[in-house]
Structure 1
Amino acid sequence: MNFEIQKRALSRIIRDDHDALVVLWPAQLPESVDVSNPIVAVVRSAIARGDLELKAGALLSLYALAGVKARQVVVVCTQDGTSRHMRTAMTAAWGALKALKLTNLGVHALVDLSAQALESAASALADASYSYASTLSKPKPRTLKNVVFTLETMEAAHRGAVVRAQALVQGIEVAKEWANRPANHATPTLLAQAAQAIAKGPGFKCEGLGIREVTKLGMGSFLAVAQGAAEPLKFIVMRYSGAATSQAPVVLVGKGITFDTGGISIKPAAEMDEMKYDMSGAASVLGVFKALAQLRPAINVVGLIPATENMPSGQAVKPGDVVTSMSGQTIEILNTDAEGRLVLCDALTYAERFKPKAVIDIATLTGACVIALGAVRSGLFSSDDDLALALQKAGEDSGDVCWRMPLDEDYAEGLKTRFADVANVGGRAGGSITAAKFLQRFATQFPWAHLDIAGTAWRSGAAKGATGRPVGLLLNYLLAQTASSTATPARVKVAAKTKGKANTERT
């Protein structure tokens, strides 16, 4: 999907050759709007008659309106124009248009939009129109190819917002693609190949370490999880160098359990198919790197993905086994279904070699976090207040929200054991916190944060599918770390004013 942006008046837009037109209608119409415009006239009449409520997502569909070239017009209320209301409006608008098989869509704002709201509108439209196709015999891919945003007034910030939105959408859809794929189409080896395909070009490096290299590194905890699987493990290391080598990188660590049966502590059969989503943390790292490849901000980023299946077999690790992690700490594995923390802890130790500015791990780690926060906010745990605040702000700004959870030392009491330095589980109470406390033991050499996305990485039921979260949060955080958070001027193409048919320069 390609996004464009133009500065144009509604009087010109109605003559453009779009398959359909979405008009973003505010709660308060500005005085400068031409009330004789055919769209404006009809909508004002509908509002006066009580047929259109001025709340976010309320809409009016107009077909073959005299004086308007687009056959289908959807007027949707954006209320106060916040990012949240913009997402609601665009999702509703696409719901009214999705059956039309559009290829070219115009979106016009009658009032000034913030750059953030514009970015939210673009990403919401992409999310609503996304279609998975990889393993279907007769796929029905998205038909919508081009979206032209038009504003009555436009600033440089709007151009940057469209460029960021383009990159964000590509990143989110990479994350969705790999999380949605069945486990036999998203093995550790295939993940490594995907990472290598993304991390190409100047400033990028990628390597996929196999069992020999991982054994040499002493990653006994990661190896323990992988030993029951027939699929070979991969430890994926991605690097983006957009700044001087003297600048410490941010390290992203994504849990890459490509399928989680629970191992010997096997899960119930019901909904076990959803455990293909247990590599959503890894998928989000791939998505962030895809976006970095488009934006190329002045920052250094490392991505680490410990990828394996967690399977029951005669070789699988058993409850009560003790293993030695890369850090040298010994771990009693009381529950083999608490495997995510076992692969992450070795990756956190590996991250030390980069002398990072910050390390953020992302994992579908605990069902307890779903109970605590549901599907609205990801759980945020951090040993560093500044890092936690920056991630919270990035979540609020992007709409990919999180909530900070406690890390009191008392929660670590349940992880004590007589037979090793630490146990991998601490009981049901406060399960998401005790999991984070386990990880914290391996993250003492740098500012660290842990995002538990078990409730936000995918949807169940009729709308089953990956959400692409928290790519938005992570990308927003990374761009905030550098002044070069937008593309270079040469990459931003803004369509000129035209008469009749819309100019189709692309960003």
Structure 2
Amino acid sequence: MLHLRRAIPIAVRTNTCRFFSASQAKLNARKGLVLGVYEKDGEDSNPHLTDTAVAFDGTVSGKLSEVLKISGPPLKKGGNRIFYGLHEDFPCVALVGLGKKDAGVCGAESWDTCKENIRAAVSSGCRLLQDLELAHVEVDSCGDAQSSAEGAILGLFQYDQLKSKKKTKVTTRLHGSGDMEAWHKGVLYGEGQNLARLLMEAPANYITPTVFANTIEEQMAPYTDRVKVHKRGQAWIEEQEMGAFLSVSKGSDEPPVFLELHYNGCPDHTQAPLLLVGKGVTFDSGGISLKPPSGMDAMRADMGGAATVCASIVTAAALKLPVNIIGLAPLCENMPSGKATKPGDVVRAKNGKTIQVDNTDAEGRLILADALCYAHTFNPRAIVNAATLTGAMDVALGSAATGVFTNSDWLWQQLHKASVVTGDRVWRMPLFQHYTKQVTHSPLADLNNIGKYSRSGGACTAAAFLKEFVTARHWAHLDIAGVMSNKDEVPYLRKGMSGRPTRTLVEFAAGLTSQV
């Protein structure tokens, strides 16, 4: 809480410089406001406020425009300023730069620039007000209430559950008479991604396979009228003859769980379901092929595929999407022990194919192999799996986009279309026979889990391996290793686990509702 003497009636904060007013007293008991401003056009010296900001300016007799002109250079995209004392109900007003007003879809960037600018700007304004310990913030729709809500919800998230000192919890709402339905949709999209971030960020001793499954079951509790949750134990996994999955889990004392979610959003029960499959390794030590210790702590998020898949189904249920979705998440730890699979061992997958395991750190493809086989039993409309599968994917694309390997042009188009809207991009990668030949070259078994040339095209050979367990016409593998975490690449996400591409999966599922 800030305690301040009376000062000038209106004050401004630009970057790190602050000038305070009496209106700042007891800020956390009052509200803040985030408003947008566009970059100026040509020689026009007047600030281009959003419609909401113009309306607010009218309530304060033009003081907002006046103080914005004298506060410094014009606000550029991503810039921000805080003004104090403008309005009795809002002691703090954050102005955020939205960039050019006419920005739209950019083919070169494969996203909607306007939506991305709004998300980034709104998140920065909300964080500024959170830093001032304001507990309630109203937000300008900036012409796109959904993107504005996503920026607010995603920007304010921070994993501090295990810290004694926590960030101020901020409640947000739409300011003015904007599109409340779009705002609510954006809130649900943002909260869905934050659920995935919460699961991925939590330490592995807090999120075990069992705890992960229980957490998702709790999240699904409000939707029991249209959601069924099945938590399958080891006995069921053995009955299903999922030998590849069991070969990964047996090195750990934590029992494996095969989580199965059924969301029935379409009253037409004859509609074939969309199958979403997520890799759920809640901690990946590498097994006997032990990883280097540096950075191994991040492997608590090796269940990012399961986190994004499950979070997207929770979001679909909250949105009441008219589509049927089945989610599968094989959950386990990959640990070294006397029971663990050894390099050179041969295991048998659910479809009967044998696999020579030459590297136990290539375990994600093993648990996905059995899950993909099981997915086919539901006669799915399409199968999409997500996994933090290969470091090679991070090398190839970094954090710019999720790599997509697919046997279906239609499925690729749907995923790409969704990613342009969300700004959480995807990029198509090859599924050449060139890579298939490498994983089918094995002296002891039908397949080898790392391929003939283990260091070359690692993301591609991993995808080729998975393809050996797919017969569906529409299948896509999303390698999300490169987008697993965020440093400063995505401005509306704080540093940490990203929860990507949850919103793209939700938008993709929503898009299927209009498909025949």
The match for 2:512 among 481, 501, 504 is: 481
- Determine the structure 1 residue equivalent to 2:257: 234
Shift of the 40–472 alpha-carbon distance from structure 1 to 2, 3 Å rule, reads farther
Q: Secondary structure at the residue paired with 2:271?
A: coil
Matches within 5 A, 1:332-481: 332-415=356-439, 416-426=441-451, 427-459=454-486, 464-481=495-512
The match for 1:23 among 11, 35, 57 is: 35
Shift of the 261–233 alpha-carbon distance from structure 1 to 2, 3 Å rule, reads same
- Report deviation, 1:105: 1.1
- Determine the structure 2 residue equivalent to 1:130: 157
- Report deviation, 1:169: 2.2
Matches within 5 A, 1:22-421: 22-27=34-39, 29=48, 33=54, 38=60, 40-43=62-65, 46-47=68-69, 51-65=72-86, 67-81=87-101, 82-108=114-140, 113=143, 117-136=144-163, 138-140=164-166, 142-151=168-177, 154=178, 158-200=179-221, 201-243=224-266, 244-415=268-439, 416-421=441-446
Counterpart-to-counterpart distance in 1, 2:487 and 2:296: 12
Query: 1:69 is matched by which residue type in structure 2?
Result: D
Q: Secondary structure at the residue paired with 1:97?
A: helix
TM-score (norm 2): 0.83
Shift of the 96–198 alpha-carbon distance from structure 1 to 2, 3 Å rule, reads closer
Counterpart-to-counterpart distance in 2, 1:438 and 1:468: 25
- Report deviation, 1:91: 2.6
Q: Secondary structure at the residue paired with 1:380?
A: strand
Cα distance per residue 1:90-118 (max 9 Å; x no partner): 13213422211222212235x6x1xxx32
Count of paired positions = 455
Identity percentage of aligned residues: 35
Counterpart-to-counterpart distance in 2, 1:85 and 1:248: 37
Counterpart-to-counterpart distance in 2, 1:84 and 1:31: 16
Decide whether the 8 Å contact of 1:264 with 1:336 is kept in 2.
yes
TM-score (norm 1): 0.85
Decide whether the 8 Å contact of 1:56 with 1:86 is kept in 2.
no
- Determine the structure 2 residue equivalent to 1:500: none
Decide whether the 8 Å contact of 2:382 with 2:472 is kept in 1.
no
Counterpart-to-counterpart distance in 1, 2:502 and 2:241: 31
Shift of the 31–285 alpha-carbon distance from structure 1 to 2, 3 Å rule, reads closer
Shift of the 334–40 alpha-carbon distance from structure 1 to 2, 3 Å rule, reads farther
Counterpart-to-counterpart distance in 2, 1:363 and 1:43: 49
Decide whether the 8 Å contact of 2:283 with 2:303 is kept in 1.
yes
Counterpart-to-counterpart distance in 2, 1:30 and 1:147: 20
Counterpart-to-counterpart distance in 2, 1:50 and 1:392: 42
Q: Bigger CA drift: 33-42 or 279-288? A: 33-42
Instruction: List alignment gaps of at least 5 residues for structure 2.
Output: 1-28, 41-47, 102-113
Query: 1:422 is matched by which residue type in structure 2?
Result: L
Counterpart-to-counterpart distance in 2, 1:208 and 1:69: 49
Shift of the 434–140 alpha-carbon distance from structure 1 to 2, 3 Å rule, reads same
Counterpart-to-counterpart distance in 2, 1:160 and 1:334: 52
Decide whether the 8 Å contact of 1:198 with 1:286 is kept in 2.
no
- Report deviation, 1:294: 1.3
Instruction: List alignment gaps of at least 5 residues for structure 1.
Output: 1-16, 485-507
Counterpart-to-counterpart distance in 2, 1:148 and 1:191: 33
